[in-house]
Structure 1
Amino acid sequence: MKTGRFAKGSAQQQSSVALGRESLDAPWTVRALALLARIAVTSLAVVVCDWVLPGFQTDSPEGPITFAVLLGVVSLVMQPLMVGGAVLLGWAGVLLLAFVGQAAVVLVTAQLLPSVEVDGFVTALLVAVVVGLVGSVASWFSTAGTSQALVGRLVASARRRPAVVADPEVDGVVFVQLDGVPFPVLQMAITAGTVPTLTRWVRAGSHTLGEWTPKLPATTPASQMGILHGVIDGIPAFRWYDRAEDRVMVANKPRDAALIEESLTTGHGLLADGGASISNLFTGDAPVSALTMSRRAGADDTTRRAVAHFVLHPTGLTRAVSRSVSELARDRFQTRRAIHRDVRPRCERTWTTALLRCVTNGVLRDVNTVLVAQHMLGGTRSIYVDYVDYDEIAHHAGMLRPESLEALEAVDGVLHQLEMVARVAPRRYHFVVLSDHGQSQGATFSDRYDEELGALVARLASATVSSSESDIEGWGRTRALVDDLGAGSGMSARAMRNVSEAMDRDSRHQDAAPAGTPAVVPAPGLADRTFHVFGSGNLGLVYVRGEERQLTRQQLDERFPALVAGLAAHPGIAFAVVTDELEGPVALGSGGSRRLRDGLVRGTDPLLPFGERANDFVLRVATRPEAPDIYVNSLLEPGTEEVAAFEGLVGCHGGLGGWQERACLVVPAHLPWPDAPLVGADALHVALRDVLVHLGHRRQLSEADRGPGEPAPQAPVGTSG
């Protein structure tokens, strides 16, 4: 197995993974057998309905088979009409036709067969539900749980009506982000074979496995801005304080995400040349996006059409409901099991986090997959999609816990589904798989010391503190889905916008929540002593509210004498970073300090446990205008490399220490790739951009978006492999 640097594969290796049309293309006999199997399963469901539903009856012996065949034909004819109607009616139409549409298909089929009796709408709806449920169960067993039926209908439709693109000679690229997956975790999963698709790719040599290093902060907003737009500055954490506007910025709020992207983008992002952004924070300057938080790309009806295709099939609705119930039950069982076994480290897993898991690992995963499939079948040149399944569960369970690895396996199954789509797409597609950062683990700061970071700052500074240390990263995905549902006009859209506004009000309330009680209550008139404190994994940010610029160490010591020294000396904090008026940025620890500009160490170097790049990483963020007055990074346990998140998460990312700095890459071996290690999401952006140039993309953009002094990328050489 290759790791680290990327080696080129042979022509035989390049063709061994089925990214083209031929190697995964099933013969007509297999497709015919699959059709017969579907008819048999539907016939079985009809027999069940005839047995249990008094209002449904098939009089002739061949009635179930005849009804099953005709039901498929009627559904095939009516589904495009229902999808078109759902798109025109908006989300009310989608939700209504999800139930009414399938009942209508049953009623129409019964009218065409005199031997079949259906006594009304309710019975027809029950027949549709039973057919969908039996079909889902049979599909699960027939595909070993990989849910290939999710894209099977789209593939079949594309075979009948293939799309035509103007430039089929230009290969497409699908960038699949495995949110928060550390390189060592993916390497172990591939070695164990628990991610069979990725294992097949790497073992065959068509793809190579490697890693890249995110710079500080190791968060999705900073990494995605770097990967998609080539810019890594301007985002100090997931949440931060905007001094100029005297407001809290949160990267997964639509308004804030739009402002961030607008202020940082060059206009020549990774997806600018006809790409699509799906389920991301930022667009990458794609002309089309769906479920993307910044919502700066032009909207179309792709999302509604994808969801309509999903729910307007008997197996779609039952799949969504059954998987949601399953995820909820599994989360509750796994939570109780961890408590019973006293698994450590452990954080609180509530019904709220369980419901969030239902969305991210259920409906959202399927919707993302259908959206990617539709764009591939439409010939979109480049697609970037973020699957948050692993990251969401690992936050609350841990990096290597069974439920986290199961989520990674499920997304590997998605890759296999997209292979099915690639074989009938109008252009050849290459798959690039990557994570935006890794993840570290450990008991939380609050659990270790019975005090949150905000309460510690309040106690040391004798000041009031507004603290934002709750986990809100996962809710952004739900918010994006709700916002897309709220697009357009009509009653259903207005209802979803009301839900979105309620979520926004709730998050603003969380951002303004006071942290603890200060040891000394401030006297009247000292409102300027209020702090904003943010936890971003094991990275903490401390701002003095109302200041126009960063305060120096001397100013902080004068106003809050015990604050800086108290933070640096705390056993849960490895180092605190402040700006000295004479020495510039300085990292302070309990046993010494390090001057960041020249590396001068006094006493024990507080950055020593964090590796050779730590000085440069910390110096870069400490000298940015958006930097807080004080950065703090949690302890790093020797041996276990565990950290202490300032949020209530057992798995975290944001600061330095552990596997959060080790992101993964799986890249086609025959595409050009740098030999040198990639450090920073901006460097990864250049490598990915040059892949697009090599394949013939960005012919109008490649000169404009090349940085000063950057050598020209390889000229396009046509399709390969």
Structure 2
Amino acid sequence: MSTPLVRTGDLGRIVATFVSSVLALAIADAVLSGLHFASFPQLLAAAAATFLVGALVRPLLVAASAAVGWLAVLLLAVLGQAAILALALTLIPGVEATSFWVVLAAAWIAAAAATIVAWLCTSGTPEAFTAVLVRRTKRRRTAVEDPDAPGVIFVQLDGVPFPVLRWQLMAATLPTMGRWTREGGYRLVEWTPVLPPTTPASQLGILHGRIDGVPAFRWYDRALGRVLVSNRAADAAEIERRATDGRGLLADGGVSISNLFSGDAERSVLTMSKIELKRGSVDTRRRAAWYLARPDGFAGSLFGAIAEIARERFESRRQRRRDVLPRGHRGWLFAGMRAVTNVVLRDLNTALVAEEMIHGTRVVYVDYVDYDEVAHHAGSLRPESLGTLDRLDHVLACLEAVAAEAPRPYRLVILSDHGQSQGAIFADRYGIDLAAVCSQLTAAQVEAVEQSVEGWGRLNGLLADLAGGASGTRRVAHDAAVRVQNRSAPPTVTTSSELVVLGSGNLGLVYAAEEHRLTMEDITDRWPALIPGLVNHDGIGFVAVMSTEHGPLVLGPSGVHRLSDAKVTGDDPLAPFGPYATADLLRAVSMPEAPDLYVNSSVDPDTGEVSAFEGLVGSHGGLGGWQGRAMLLAPPDLVIPDQPIRGADGLHRVLVAYLEQLGQRTGVSRDTADV
């Protein structure tokens, strides 16, 4: 049976859109003195003209703004609807509009009304956004050469611990993933990232199969003489250059969306290692322009962002009012960052993935940071953090609906890159930060980098990939991206600096600002009080160091663990940190990039709480708690190995096997490497 050109649901949406436009123009006529319709038929004609002109003109505006640059995309979002309405009103005789600003105000009233009607029609759920993407998929779906070959969408839910997702599924609060596990045969398993459990180390392993060379989220590079920060574009490019062999997870026609590294993808969008501030992505601007040009797109994200800011301010005040502990500072700056990552970036990522599915892209890897961003500041088990999982579940429902209309079947594989641990901030609990402790013990000149910068990197990635060249409107986006990048940049290590102290969750890194690594004996000769002072601090669980005589060692207040042969003298300092601690630290301390001292906070044996050296209540990067417990949720026809998955490189092999099982990676040679 043939498919009708216009479905009942489509007709209903057209009628709802038309009625909301008529209502919005009537409201604008009532509240704006510079706009006047002589009769009700004029209102109907103006609404119809706006609908028709928008359908004809909007694609042209999208193409033009994407070609010109980022500022044009923004201007399209702000002024595009007004231009469409102004053009429509010129077609209706007798309508009075005294100025373009009156038309602009009327256009925004219309956009607000459309958003409210969409919200009412979907009972406040993201179904309207899903419906838009599904309709777009049906209209623009392109034929592929191998329509029966399945594609794969890898969805990274950043920072979600395995126990948290399992509990949410048991509580039946995630309807989409719950249905997959109850009725669809999906399996949820735990996998264990190695030290450090943080996004750059895990994503490098997942996407490129390499877990070496990344000792933390940021570290002092002795060869370069500066701090590398993994979510800065130039540094991410350098990290990937060192790791890639050309055979990453996405090497065979894949696309990377909103990640730190590309996985050797054919195309990368909003991916830090592939961003160049001197030239943005026309493709990214085109796709963003399509979304922003729609009344329900930009207006929906704008009002959604405002609602997210209001939600964050309410939730942070609720924590203070109830004296919830531990807690950290949650100001207006974080509220704005949360609105970007948890509304604008989430919707844009979903639209970008849907666009790839429309064209039948074989494999996509996308990172959603919603949970990670909120949990860092609110706590990993707090209601607001768990609430993000509900909204991410809606995203998965949206991708599932788009996949049903795509030109090839798709498998959705859900995973996290690490977990999270909760606890009071180290400086709040002990009244001093790690850099100050080191300074007191050594009287040395210390450069400290302990502020959290993950959210800034995500905003910078969005701005930089939307930026254009170095002239005209594109310079505005370029300059904005540079300012955001500088906001997250670490201080320069000067010649007067003697120690560099970095915080990466509850893992501290202490470097002598020199070209060569210092051993325990070197440190003891130069700063005899440093190691004993750190080891005996109440907030520090252990210190790991390389010894000239004994090799890699872990030192605790009443014992020493020699990592080369697991010999323990006295009380084992690694006993509270789980069965993998010895192997993790042996590998980490042996890396050339390792600091002179690894400093890990203590862990509460009853609650699993740790103390971050950054200003975060939820953290990851060291040992202790759930930060080393990640998850994988896979469909039933993709084989999960019987043995535990250990390390992001181990997960990489599992995901590559999925692609091979589905007939992909035919264009990736096992015998050659493109370095």
Normalising by the residue count of structure 1, what TM-score does the alignment of the two structures yield? 0.89
Secondary structure in 2 matching 1:209: strand
1:676 correspondence with 2:643 = yes
Counterpart Cα distance in 2 of 1:675 and 1:31 = 47
Task: Please say which of residues 446-455 and 162-171 is displaced more in the overlay.
Answer: 162-171
1:542 corresponds in structure 2 to 510
Q: Which residue in the other structure is 2:347 paired with? A: 366
Q: Distance in 2 between matches of 1:109 and 1:499?
A: 34
1:255 maps to 234
Paired AA for residue 482 in structure 2: E
The amino acid across from 1:32 in the alignment is L
How far off its partner does 1:572 sit?
Answer: 0.8
2:456–2:484 contact (8 Å) kept in structure 1: no
Give the counterpart of 1:229 among 208, 221, 227: 208
Question: One-letter code of the match for 1:452?
Answer: D
How far is the alpha carbon of 1:141 from its aligned partner? 2.5
Q: Aligned partners of 2:419, 2:6: CA distance in 1, in Å?
A: 41
Alignment check: 8 A CA contact 1:542 1:628 kept: yes
1:263-342 to 2 correspondences below 5 Å: 263-295=242-274, 300-342=281-323
Q: Kindly indicate whether residue 558 of structure 2 is the aligned counterpart of residue 579 of structure 1.
A: no
Single out whichever of 247-256 and 97-106 deviates more from structure 2: 97-106
Pick from 498, 501, 504 the counterpart of residue 530 of structure 1. 498
SS in 1 for 2:245: coil
Alignment check: 8 A CA contact 1:182 1:663 kept: yes
Distance 2:643 2:473 in 1: 52
Instruction: Give, in whole Å, the separation in 1 of the partners of 2:254 and 2:590.
Output: 34
For 2:191, the aligned partner's letter is W
What's the counterpart of residue 445 of structure 2? 464
Q: Does 1:173 align with 2:152?
A: yes
Cα distance per residue 1:457-498 (max 9 Å; x no partner): 111122111111100111100111121132334322212222
Give the superposition deviation at 1:613.
1.0
Paired AA for residue 446 in structure 2: V
Shift of 1:362: 2.1
Deviation at 1:703, TM superposition (A): 2.8
Q: Which moved more, 1:676-685 or 1:128-137?
A: 128-137
CA contact (8 A) 2:231 2:272 kept: yes
- Structure 1's unaligned 5+ residue stretches are 1-21, 515-526, 707-721
> Could you say what secondary structure the match of 1:587 adopts?
strand
> Equivalents in 2 of 1:685, 1:410: separation in Å?
27
Q: Distance in 2 between matches of 1:451 and 1:513?
A: 22
For structure 1, which segment, 290-299 or 440-449, has the greater mean C-alpha deviation from structure 2 after superposition? 290-299
* Whole-angstrom CA distance in 1 between matches of 2:249 and 2:519: 38
Deviation string for 1:50-99 (max 9, x for gaps)? Answer: 33233434444444444434422221111111111111211222122223
Alignment of 1:644-683 (within 5 A): 644-683=611-650
Deviation for aligned residue 1:641: 0.5
Segments of 5+ residues of structure 2 without an aligned counterpart are: none
Q: Confirm or deny that 1:400 pairs with 2:381.
A: yes
**1:240 equivalenced with 2:219 (yes/no):** yes
**In the TM superposition, what are the counterparts of 1:410-489 in structure 2 within 5 Å?**
410-489=391-470
Corresponding residue for 2:576?
609
Which letter maps to 2:342?
Answer: N
Q: CA deviation at 1:533?
A: 0.7
Q: CA deviation at 1:445?
A: 1.1
The 1:67–1:190 alpha-carbon spacing in structure 2 relative to 1, beyond 3 Å, is: farther
Q: How far off is 1:26 after superposition?
A: 13
Aligned amino acid, residue 472 of structure 2: M
Matched, 1:568 2:535: yes
Whether the aligned pair in 1 keeps the contact of 2:260 and 2:271 (CA below 8 Å) is: yes
> C-alpha separation between the residues in 1 aligned to 2:297 and 2:7?
25
Paired position in structure 2 for 1:45: 24
Superimposed CA distance per residue, residues 118-137 of structure 1 (whole angstroms, 9 cap, x where no aligned partner):
44422322222111111111
**Alignment partner, residue 64 of structure 2:** 85
Which of 595, 605, 609 is equivalent to 1:628?
595
Corresponding letter in the other structure for 1:542: V
SS in 2 for 1:475: helix
Q: How big is each residue's C-alpha offset from its partner over 1:239-287, in whole Å with a ceiling of 9 and x where there is no partner? A: 1111112111111111111010001111111111111111110001112
Aligned AA (1:614): A
| 8 Å Cα contact 1:528-1:544 kept in structure 2 | no
- Aligned mates of 1:325, 1:300 — CA distance in 2: 27
2:127 matched residue in structure 1? 148
Per the alignment, residue 716 of structure 1 pairs with none
1:38/1:295 Cα in 2 relative to 1: closer, same or farther (>3 Å)? same
Mean Cα displacement is larger for which, 154-163 or 221-230?
154-163
One-letter code aligned to 1:560: W
Q: Please state whether the residue corresponding to 1:347 is helix, strand or coil.
A: coil
The CA deviation string for residues 527-574 of structure 1, in whole angstroms up to 9 with x for no partner, is: 7871011110011111111132x2111111111111112111111111
Alpha-carbon displacement from aligned partner over 1:318-359 (angstroms, at most 9, x marks no partner): 222222222222222222221121110011112222221121
Task: Give the aligned CA root-mean-square deviation in angstroms.
Answer: 2.2
Q: Distance in 1 between matches of 2:558 and 2:252?
A: 52
Give the CA deviation at 1:117.
Answer: 4.5
The match for 2:137 among 158, 164, 167 is 158
Deviation at 1:290, TM superposition (A): 1.2
Give the one of 467, 479, 491 matched to 1:511. 491
Which deviates the most, 667-676 or 323-332? Answer: 323-332
Higher deviation after alignment, 201-210 or 533-542: 201-210
One-letter code aligned to 2:100: F
Question: Which amino acid is the alignment partner of residue 547 of structure 1?
Answer: E
Deviating more after overlay: 140-149 vs 434-443: 140-149
Paired position in structure 1 for 2:76: 97
Letter of the structure 2 residue corresponding to residue 541 of structure 1 = L
Q: In the TM superposition, what are the counterparts of 1:707-718 in structure 2 within 5 Å?
A: none
Contact 1:468–1:512 (CA under 8 A) maintained in structure 2: no
Contact 1:254–1:294 (8 Å) recurs in 2: yes
How far, CA to CA, are the matches of 1:194 and 1:577 in structure 2? 41
Deviates more, 1:140-149 or 1:555-564: 140-149
Residue 287 of structure 2 aligns with an amino acid whose one-letter code is: A
Matching of residue 346 in structure 1 with residue 327 in structure 2: yes
What letter is aligned with 2:244? T
Q: Tell me, what secondary structure is at the counterpart of 2:644?
A: coil
Task: Give yes or no for the alignment of 1:107 onto 2:86.
Answer: yes
Contact 1:60 1:115 (C-alpha < 8 Å) held by counterparts: no
Q: Deviations over 1:345-399 (max 9, x none)?
A: 0111122222211211121112111111111112211111111111111101001
Distance in 2 separating the partners of 1:205 and 1:497: 46
Q: Tell me the SS of whatever aligns to 1:71.
A: helix
d(CA) in 1 for partners of 2:132 and 2:273?
31
Residue of structure 1 in register with 2:523 after alignment: 556
- Give secondary structure in 2 for the equivalent of 1:661: coil
Tell me which residue corresponds to 2:480.
Answer: 499
Per-residue deviation, 1:667 = 0.8
Conserved? CA contact 1:132–1:316, under 8 Å: no
1:582 to partner: Cα distance: 2.0
Task: Check the 8 A contact 2:280/2:466 in 1, yes or no.
Answer: no
